[in-house]
Amino acid sequence: MSGVIRSATGIGSDRSGGLPRARQARSMLPAIAQSLPLAIGVLLATMPVLVIPVMLLTRRDAPVLGAFLTGWFAGFLLVGGVSILLVDLASWLEGGMPAWIEALRIPLGLLLLGLALVQWHRRSKDGQSPAPPFWMGMIETLTTPRAAGLGFVTIAFNPKNVPLIMSGGLTIATATPLPHAQLAALIVFTLVASLGVLAPLLASLLLGKRAQAPLARFKGWVVHYNNHIVAFALLTLGVLLVSSGIARL
């Protein structure tokens, strides 16, 4: 991403395409390694959403499921890509990585801790059935365009997911300035964070009808413990970001 900015302005163009592949790979690995814990956190925080592909597989509607996954990945890449681009732009304007960019981890982490507290208070108490997510009633009548929109909105306009993906983009952009390394790290981040929504499809492809019963049981478990899972993931990532931001001051 930073290479795009530098190439457009004619400044620092020797930092991208002219680099040996080995050096680009070495620059990519730290970005992947540093963003991987955040990707796993996003995977846990978005675990309740896997109910959507499970229900769509029950409908046996491959085009609708494909549209949902397309919108999902588009939302991931948009939010993550814009985050990286903004960090690179700030770095180029100030001639180096600004200290306030590194410090952004602290407010992002505090935001996640606040969201974790909200999720914990929303958890189902003993003997109570959890309130279903708003999109549960949409699944049976979901069309291909609406499925793509739902996948995109679930990521790009969700107050829990956006800070998480922005944190991943921030981590990638501060780990390497090279555009190829940033793009590769963002793709790996997106794939790891999306393993939850991809798991039902993979299980169905590998196991066929044998996957239906386990997926149905897992769906029930996820719906019941929705807020518990999300609260744990947000708490863990919030602590990680705040401590990382303080350490970089």
pLDDT digits (tens, 9 = 90+) for 210-239: 777 777 777 777 777 777 888 888 898 889
- Rounded Cα–Cα distance for residues 10 and 22 (Å): 24
In the chain, which residue ranges form alpha helices assigned H by DSSP?
Answer: 2-9, 21-45, 51-59, 62-93, 99-103, 105-121, 144-156, 161-175, 179-193, 195-207, 212-224, 226-247
pLDDT digits (tens, 9 = 90+) for 37-77: 889 888 888 887 877 787 777 767 678 888 999 999 999 99
Q: What is the mean pLDDT of residues 12-30?
A: 59
Amino acid of residue 149: G
